[in-house]
Amino acid sequence: MRSFNTFHFKGQRDGEEVLQILRRHWFDIFLQLFWAFLILAFLTFISTALPSLFPAISKAPYKNLFTFLENLFLLLIWIISFVIWVDYYFDVWIVTNKRVVNIEQKGLFSRNVSELELEKIQDITTEVHGLIPTFLNYGDVFIQTAGERERFLFRKIPNPYKVKNILMNLQEKKEREETDELGEMIKKKINN
């Protein structure tokens, strides 16, 4: 298992080691940006075809209006692409030796941070649906908990089966440690 000793995050506890940093699969942002690029291609086609079809657009006062609308649409496409990238880049799941931290970006100015202690994990489910996700090996990982938040979701992450195995191994290790501690406490009580 790869260790991220140089990676630290706000709220990291003493002795807590970052084991895995996850973001959504690159194909997810590709799909979202594909539509922006498709609109951009359509806009480019319109800006070259319309002046030849309607020569009046090339002359004042329509030329200024047409140029303004072109720039307005380009700006909107750039802003939408930027928001998609920010959402992709700042959605992070951090797996440590003690807990799972979910940092979810919602828009430009809102972020939701939640965490899950390993001992609260009850069940882990992996879902990979479709030809492309199967081929590119990405999908969702659901963690069932006993806490207030019943399901913890890792959306469209790479290697979901590997992540599931890592989480299950960490959870089993945590359970063994707790059982050993309980056994030691009982031995001490009996010996006293």
Instruction: Check whether residue 108 and residue 137 sit in a common domain.
Output: yes
Q: How confident is the model at residue 135 (pLDDT cuts 50, 70, 90)?
A: very high
**Average pLDDT over every residue of 28-32:** 90
141 and 168 co-located in one domain: yes
Q: Which of 96-105, 122-131, 145-154, 159-168 has the lowest mean pLDDT?
A: 145-154
- Same domain for 59 and 99? no
Which pLDDT belongs to residue 2? 53
Task: Please give the single-letter amino acid code of residue 154.
Answer: F
Which DSSP helix (H) or strand (E) runs through 158? Answer: strand 151-158
pLDDT of residue 148: 63
- CATH code for the domain in which residue 143 is found: 2.30.29
- pLDDT (tens digit, 9 = 90+) per residue, 47-60? 888 878 878 777 77
79 and 95 assigned to the same domain: no
Q: Of 87, 112, 136, which one is at a domain's C-terminal end? A: 87
- Phi-psi map region of 159: left, alpha, beta (phi>0 left; psi -120 to 50 alpha): left
Q: What's the whole-number mean pLDDT along residues 68-80?
A: 90
Q: What is the pTM of this model?
A: 0.73
CA-based nearest residue to 139, from 166, 161, 118, 114? 161
Q: Are 56 and 102 contained in the same domain? A: no
pLDDT at 4 exceeding the cut of 70? no
Angstrom distance (rounded) from CA 162 to CA 164: 5
Whole-number mean pLDDT of the chain? 85
- For residue 97, what are the domain limits? 18-24+91-191
What would the mean pLDDT of 157-185 be, rounded to a whole number? 86
Structural domain tally of the chain? 2
Flag whether pLDDT at 5 surpasses 60. no
Q: How many CB atoms lie within 10 A of CB 113?
A: 12
In a domain, 72, yes or no: yes
Q: Are residues 64 and 153 in the same domain?
A: no
